[in-house]
Amino acid sequence: MIRLFRGLRHSGVLGMNERNADYIMLYNLRRNYPFVDDKLITKQRAERAGIRVPQLYATVEIERQIRKLPRLLAEHDDFVIKPAHGSGGNGILVVAESRNDNYRLASGRLVGIDHISHHISNILSGMHSLGGQPDKAVIEQRVIFDPLFERISHGGVPDIRTIVFRGVPVMAMVRLPTRGSDGKANLHQGAVGAGLDMATGRTTTAVWMDRFTDIHPDTGDPIAGVQIPEWNDLLELSARCHALADLGYLGVDIVLDRNHGPMVLELNARPGLSIQLANRRPLQPRLQRIEAMETVPVDPARRAAMARELFGEEEPPPVQEVGGSGVATAEPVP
Amino acid sequence: MKNLHLKFLALALCLIGGSGVWYKTSVLGLPLTPDAETEVWTVEASLSFQADEGPTRARLFIPSSPPGFNVLSEDFVSGSFGLTRSADGTNRKAEWTSRRVSGTQTLYYRIQVANDPTGAATIPGPQPSFPEGPEYDEPYGSAAMTLLETVRQESADISSFTQRLLLRYIDESPDEGVQVLRSFAETDTEHTHNLINILAGARIPARSVQVLSLRDQMRRGSLRSYLEVHNGTEWVAFNPRTGSSGYDEETLVWHWGEDALLEIEGGNEAGVQFSTARTPRQTVAVAQQQALLGGSMLMDFSLLSLPVDTQNTYRILLLVPIGALVIVFMRNVIGVKTFGTFMPILIALAFRETQLLWGVFLFTVIVALGLLIRFYLENLKLLLVPRLAAVLTVVVLLLAIVSVLSHKLGLDRGLSVALFPMVILAMTIERMSLVWEEFGPREAIQQGVGSLAVAVLGFLVMFNDWLEHLVFLFPELLLIILAVVLLLGRYTGYRLTEIWRFRHLIREQDTR
């Protein structure tokens, strides 16, 4: 047991206690937490900073506003309703199409305005925020997912989680929903985590339910070698998010929109440790590398370049030929 | 350095806590084990006499500070007599006076003593001057001188001199000289006086002491005399009948000197009888009594000074930090997941009343039933607070139903289910159902079992009699617990479960 403990220490895997004591407590000031915990504040700050986020259509803060809902929703064909303080993808209602007073959900179900009103009412009562405190409902643009991950995800919203330390992206993974995760891109709930090569933005290894895997459990397709388009822009976008909340140890969740490219979905002040399993790489050496620097470049583009340079794989996997779907597969990395 | 600060703080806390425990055990004599008992001797002196017509006065020596004993209490039964107490240096006296009594009078003096746990037995008394060499009559003189001369050659210092002398004096087949010396005394007191006289020939200061031998259930006992010699720095006691030195644990010094134990004016046919009894008592109680008599602030402000029912509350409350330590350890070092941070402690506290197996069984039943009903409530789409209130109501009903059913079945243990903290149960059910919804049944059951396991462990650690006794008598131990918790607060090593979770990464690194 002690040998295992030493081995783990030697390997540089970041543990929960160490993450909390040496990184989160040291680099994340508690007073900055509201900037990431409240999605509305995150969104407003991001828009001001020129970071692309799903467009805000409306917010509902008190029960009375629900009556005006049809008018609020009238001009939008599709939209997403989510709680401002939600976590783990709970309480999100995706409306794919609206016609007159009928709304078609992403699941294909047709519902009336009553259903939507009740859902918002639940959000306001705090049903979906873990603390249980009264919440706000956010109505925003529906992201049309890039079909890039179609073959290696099952329903739901694949997103890219990047750990950004002192503004430098240090490790990233794609979170791929499975049948078991019920469309949620949360590793705890059974989503697949696929590591990303920081230099090229290609998927490398993967983990599912704390076990290593090479294929998606639902589709059976190999995971390695999927190229994320415009990887450099994406890295820079993550690096820029550091300025939004002034959190030194930050998790940035980004989705790829088919029409608008990468968009920041939410920020996380306590990102999980499974990213190490997804990449099969320990976090600590990378964090220590950044920690040892006296100053970090102010320019996000330089920080992104630093990440590519420092943390890229020596032998990235070859790009997978994605046939059929007609999507821009392997855009050349500039 | 941040950690250095923390380590110093922890060290300081440990030192304060440790020295508190040390002081209480070695100076105040508090026991480290709960069942420690101390012998308490109750000694009663009853004096009786025939009073003449007219004023009567009775003076009795009473123990002052007997070496090797602590006085716990004393009291007097004086009847119509007035009582005064007086002390002169080493001895104390009680004086009963009455202007007009007649007939048989009986007065009582009762004292409770316990052996001093520190074992320190200093004999009081002023530094004596060397006695003048007495002028002995013959043949006493030459016999004494021969004896002293023989003994002097066999001994090294005053103590061994006295001991050799005693052994020769009490020898079963004494030589002629000793026979002569012994013929001058008959009673116990006279022999002691005789010895003092002989010792004066060697210019050794000596005095006689009146002691009571403590025996359980003794009646009609009387005092016997002991011999004390001064070796230049302190008084050393000897039993003149055996030659052994020092007072043993069952020898209570009543008074020093050769004066009569009882003096009566205006009465006759006086006599004193002693009866003794031994009773074992809890060391805690004895130590407390001693400390209170000794005016110890620490004991005066200890938890033992509280009313008994409050004491019982603190007996439990003081265990909670130990439970908290268990939680910290299980969560941050082992990595077990639980519902709510301190929920397992509260469950463990409930186990105290229900007993372990029943507690686990009842907890599982209530939570399982509660979850079923909670899942049904989910369909009703209730708002948060009303939903919690509904779960709470259901929990209370379930408790009542389990109690009634188990009572009807003759399982009275089931009644104790009422002692479960219902709000905690309701919150547990709510949290568990949320985790079930959001992270699936596997995670929910894992956390549920984790909580229960931590509660059981907490129960086992918290409620053993020894620990309960320790923290109650030595609350400063909690400072040490605080120190450990503080140090664990900066523990940045892996959790045990993480070693399992990341085990493949170890291999990954090895092969690279």
Q: What is the pLDDT of residues B395-431, one digit of tens each?
A: 999 888 988 888 888 877 777 777 778 888 888 888 8
Q: Which one of B1, B2, B506, B510 makes the best mutation probe of the A interface by having the most chain A beta carbons within 10 Å?
A: B506
- Please name the fold of domain A12-35+146-311: D-amino Acid Aminotransferase; Chain A, domain 1 (3.30.470)
Return d(Cα B102, Cα B108) in angstroms, integer: 17
CB count, 10 Å around CB of A52?
Answer: 16
Concatenated DSSP letters for A104-121?
A: EETTS-EE-HHHHHHHHH
> Do residue B498 and residue A132 have CB atoms under 8 angstroms apart?
no
Given its phi and psi angles, is residue A122 left (phi above 0), alpha (psi -120 to 50 degrees) or beta?
alpha
The residue in chain B having the minimum alpha-carbon distance to the alpha carbon of residue A126 is B384
pLDDT the model gives residue B512: 44
Chain B: closest CA distance from residue A212 (Å): 8
Considering only CB atoms, B506 lies closest to which of A11, A88, A126, namely A11
pLDDT at B302: 77
- Tell me if residue A158 falls in helix, strand or coil: coil
Partner residue opposite A17 with nearest CB, options B492, B501, B509: B492
A300-311 and A231-245 are packed helices; what angle lies between their axes, rounded to 10 degrees? 120
Residues of chain A with CATH 3.30.1490: 55-140
* CATH 3.30.470.20 domain span(s) along chain A: 12-35+146-311
**What's residue B84's pLDDT?**
87
The CATH fold assigned to A55-140 is Dna Ligase; domain 1 (3.30.1490)
Q: How many CB pairs under 8 A join A and B?
A: 86
Residues B435/B443, Cβ–Cβ less than 8 Å: yes
B335 and A16 within 8 Å at the Cβ level: the answer is yes
Q: How many CB atoms lie within 10 A of CB B298?
A: 14
Return the residue matching tokens 């009680």: B94
Q: Which amino acid is at A325?
A: S
Pairing state of beta strands A110-111 and A102-105?
Answer: antiparallel
Percent of chain B with pLDDT over 70: 96
10-residue mean pLDDT profile of chain B (512 residues): values are 83 93 82 78 86 84 85 83 84 86 84 77 77 76 81 82 81 77 79 82 84 83 85 84 81 85 82 84 74 68 78 87 94 89 87 86 91 87 81 90 86 74 86 81 88 93 86 91 93 89 72 44
Q: Is the Cβ pair B505, A277 closer than 8 Å?
A: yes
Does the ipTM exceed 0.85? Answer: no
Domains and CATH numbers, chain B: 36-121+212-223+252-295 (2.60.40.2250), 320-462 (no CATH)
pLDDT of residue A323: 45
**Distance (Å, whole) CA B414 – CA B185:** 78
| Nearest CB to A4 within list B439, B493, B499 | B499
Kindly state whether B512 is in contact with chain A, defined as any CB-CB distance less than 8 angstroms: no
* A153's tokens: 């995800």
Give the percent of chain A with pLDDT over 70.
95
Helix, strand or coil, per DSSP, at residue B228: strand
Tokens of A135: 């919440």
Query: Residue A324: what pLDDT?
Result: 39
Taking 50 as the pLDDT cut, the residues of chain A under it are 323-334
* Neighboring chain B residues of A1 at a CB cutoff of 8 Å: 499
What chain A residue is nearest to B490 in terms of C-alpha separation? A21
Distances (CA, A) of B21 to B117, B298, B363: 16, 11, 38
Q: What is the pLDDT of residue B51?
A: 82
Structure tokens, B406:
């188990």
Provide the edge-to-edge strand list for the sheet that holds B218-221. Answer: B69-77, B103-115, B37-51, B267-282, B218-221
Is the CB of B2 inside 8 Å of chain A's CB atoms? no
**Angstrom distance (rounded) from CA B371 to CA B363:** 12
- Residues with Cβ within 8 Å of residue A133, at least 6 apart in sequence: A85, A126
**Averaged pLDDT of chain B:** 83
Residue B342 Cα, gap to closest chain A Cα (Å): 17
- Across the beta sheet with A79-83, the strand order is A56-60, A137-140, A79-83, A93-99, A102-105, A110-111
β-pair partners for B84: B95
Chain A residue with CA closest to B382: the answer is A122
Do B201 and B126 form a contact (C-beta atoms < 8 A)?
Answer: no
Contact A8 B502 (CB under 8 A): yes
Q: Which residue of A has its CA nearest to B328?
A: A17
Residues 6+ apart with CB under 8 A from B323: B342, B344, B345, B348, B349, B458, B461, B462
B139 upstream amide cis, omega within 30 of 0: yes
Beta strands in chain A (DSSP E): 56-60, 79-83, 93-99, 102-105, 110-111, 137-140, 159-165, 168-176, 192-196, 203-208, 211-213, 249-257, 261-268
Which H/E stretch holds residue A61? Answer: none
